[in-house]
């Protein structure tokens, strides 16, 4: 078995560290890619949240309008004369 001098040992260890550094750099690139994708998702969710707020406002408006229309219909029912009542009253007037 041959002995390894300090310089060869240092070169071997340095080569191992270079391989680890390459792997770390690769992971950093992948994490940067993931971070960019998450930023993109966050932006999309922000846009979705704004759209949902707009939909909520429109639904509140529609709900208020339907409430007013419901009240108007109730008022109209009180003033409504049904057909059979009208025909009955008309026939009595003719007599």
Tell me what pLDDT residue 68 has. 96
pTM of the predicted structure, to 2 decimals: 0.47
The pLDDT mean for the chain works out to 85
The secondary structure of residue 79, as a DSSP letter, is T
In the numeric block, which tokens belong to residue 78? Answer: 């009180």
pLDDT digits (tens, 9 = 90+) for 67-94: 999 999 999 888 888 889 889 988 989 8
Computed from CA positions of residues 65, 66, 71, 73, in that sequence, does the dihedral angle turn out positive or negative? Answer: positive
Closest CA to 51 of 63, 59, 61: 59
What element of type H or E holds 66?
helix 6-78
Tell me what pLDDT residue 51 has. 94
């Amino acid at each position: 078995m041959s002995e390894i001098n300090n310089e060869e040992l240092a070169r071997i260890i340095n080569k191992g560290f270079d391989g680890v550094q390459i792997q770390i750099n690769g992971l950093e690139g992948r994490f940067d890619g993931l971070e960019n994708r998450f930023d993109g998702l966050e932006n999309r969710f922000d846009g979705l949240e704004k759209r949902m707020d707009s939909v909520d406002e429109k639904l509140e408006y529609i709900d208020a309008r339907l409430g007013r229309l419901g009240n108007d219909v109730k008022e109209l029912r009180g003033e409504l004369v049904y057909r059979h009542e009208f025909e009955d009253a008309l026939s009595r007037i003719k007599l």
